[in-house]
């Protein structure tokens, strides 16, 4: 297919779906962002996108990686926080403040 044909069909589909005008190439960025947010390794995303060097992928998706790092640090803080005040008479260890997947 010619790139102009793909773009034209994509615009029609966007119109039917009621989605604002978006570049077809933006789907690539969306896919990579979603993969990163799901915990897929950066090297795997690099291979899927066909980037020659991981630094290219890392630079493009730095904003996502910084947010994920912030979320990870927050998760550690939640895990260390005692969600309930357990007295010494409790035999059960305190529950963890995060969900483990």
**87 within some domain:** no
**77 within some domain:** yes
**30 within some domain:** yes
Range of the domain at 73: 25-82+96-101
Contact (CB, 8 A) for 57 and 45: yes
- Would you tell me how many other CB atoms lie within 10 Å of the CB of residue 33? 15
Model pTM above 0.85: no
Total domains in the chain come to 1
**37 within some domain:** yes
Per-residue pLDDT of the chain (101 residues; tens, 9 = 90+): 788 899 999 999 999 999 999 998 889 888 998 998 888 999 999 999 999 999 999 888 877 777 778 888 888 888 888 766 555 555 565 565 555 55
**18 within some domain:** no
**13 within some domain:** no
**51 within some domain:** yes
Structure tokens given for 58: 């890392």
């Amino acid at each position: 297919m010619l790139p102009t044909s793909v773009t034209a069909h994509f615009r029609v589909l966007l119109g039917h779906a009621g989605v604002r005008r978006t570049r077809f190439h933006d789907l690539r960025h969306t896919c990579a962002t979603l993969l990163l947010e799901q915990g897929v390794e950066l090297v795997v995303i690099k291979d899927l996108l066909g980037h020659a060097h991981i630094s290219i992928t890392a630079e493009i998706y730095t904003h996502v990686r910084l947010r994920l790092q912030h979320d990870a640090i927050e998760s550690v803080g939640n895990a260390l926080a005692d969600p309930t005040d357990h007295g010494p008479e409790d035999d059960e260890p305190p529950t963890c403040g995060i969900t483990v997947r």
